[in-house]
């Protein structure tokens, strides 16, 4: 199967709730869909304010960098009994990005591997808000999809595994700078704010095991050293330092130089 055929098959599997081997997971897919929820920027700001007041004395989280895809990291963690939440490096304007058209990026990979696309369609306001916003920084809207069924890694799985997903767009550094030559500071400020809102949301939802990564470091051209440093700084803040048990940065970097992977390894010393 080529990549477009895999996408069509993934869509069929999501819509029917049946794996290629005939196993039914329709109830799990329905749960993820009907419980997908949009969080507005105002709602997220209130969550952050509450989060900043909650500073526990638990043990600081363990941070690791893994050289693998987001879905592979989630599979490994759920296999160990973890309740995982992962970040989808999302398109701001199109559900699933370009996965049905054969595009290759992290969001498209997730949608070819899971029922995420059907969940995103439940929250059209996320896409409407970003389309109405002319700034390439995009908005702070986020979609939370709980316990999304995943049914593919390198091939179709015999059973699903479940991982919750936050759909959120990184600011588009490359496109913004093409229009605003001196706009790097604006994009970086927006990135820090959005990353902080993301972590606040994950903390408020009670997840202790996260899969993050090189958010916006592909076609959006955010610097991986900057992105890694933002997360390192935020995860060291007193209101986040003990909020999670483990944070995995899954970095799928097949380049010869491995610039992105090394940026995260150097930042976190892993």
Q: Please give the Cα distance from 270 to 59 (Å, whole number).
A: 19
Checking if the pLDDT of 110 tops 90, the result is yes
The CATH number of whichever domain residue 93 belongs to comes to 3.40.220.10
- Of the listed ranges 52-66, 86-100, 118-132, 201-215, the least confidently predicted one is 52-66
Angle at 209 between CA 194 and CA 87, to 5 degrees: 35
Task: Please state the length of the chain.
Answer: 270
Quote the domain boundaries for residue 172: 3-268
Phi-psi region of 17 (alpha: psi -120 to 50; beta: other; left: phi over 0): left
Q: 129: closest CA among 103, 176, 90?
A: 90
The answer to pTM > 0.75 is: yes
Question: Which segments of 180-223 does DSSP mark as H helices, in order?
Answer: 184-204
Average pLDDT over residues 101-107: 95
Q: Please say if the pLDDT value at position 117 is more than 90.
A: yes
- 39-60 mean pLDDT: 90
Instruction: Quote the number of domains for the chain.
Output: 1
- The pLDDT assigned to 270 comes to 61
60 falls in which pLDDT band (50, 70, 90)? confident
Q: Is the model's pLDDT at 57 over the cut of 70?
A: no
Cα dihedral 85, 90, 93, 99 in deg (nearest 10): -110
Does the pLDDT of residue 257 top 70, yes or no? yes
pLDDT band at 134; cut points 50, 70, 90:
confident
- Number of CB atoms found within 10 A of residue 164's CB: 20
Percent of the chain scored above 90 by pLDDT?
Answer: 94
Residue-wise burial string across 83-99, b where 16 or more C-beta atoms lie within 10 A, e elsewhere: ebbbbbbbbbbbbbbeb
């Amino acid at each position: 199967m080529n990549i477009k055929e895999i996408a069509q098959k993934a869509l069929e599997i999501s819509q029917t709730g049946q794996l290629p081997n005939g196993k039914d997971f329709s109830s799990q897919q329905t749960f993820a869909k009907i419980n997908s929820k949009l969080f507005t920027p105002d709602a997220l700001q209130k969550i952050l304010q509450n989060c900043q007041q909650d500073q526990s004395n638990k043990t600081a989280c363990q941070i690791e960098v893994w050289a693998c895809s987001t879905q592979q990291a989630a599979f490994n963690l759920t296999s160990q009994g973890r309740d995982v939440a992962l970040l989808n490096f999302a398109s701001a304007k199109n559900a699933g990005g370009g996965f049905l058209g054969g595009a290759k990026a992290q969001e498209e990979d997730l949608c070819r591997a899971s029922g995420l696309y059907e969940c995103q369609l439940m929250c059209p306001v996320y896409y409407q808000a970003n389309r109405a916003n002319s700034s390439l920084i995009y908005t702070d809207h986020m979609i939370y999809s709980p316990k999304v069924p995943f049914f593919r890694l390198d091939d179709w799985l015999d059973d699903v595994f479940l991982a919750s997903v936050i759909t959120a767009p990184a600011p588009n550094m490359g496109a913004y700078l093409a229009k605003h030559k001196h706009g790097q500071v604006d994009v970086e400020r927006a990135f820090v704010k959005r990353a902080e809102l993301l972590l606040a949301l994950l903390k408020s939802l009670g997840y202790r095991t996260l899969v993050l990564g090189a958010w916006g470091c592909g076609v959006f051209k955010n610097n991986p050293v900057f992105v890694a440093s933002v997360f390192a700084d935020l995860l060291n803040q007193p209101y986040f330092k003990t909020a999670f048990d483990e944070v995995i940065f899954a970095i799928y970097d097949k380049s010869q130089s491995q610039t992105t992977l090394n940026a995260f390894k150097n930042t976190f010393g892993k």
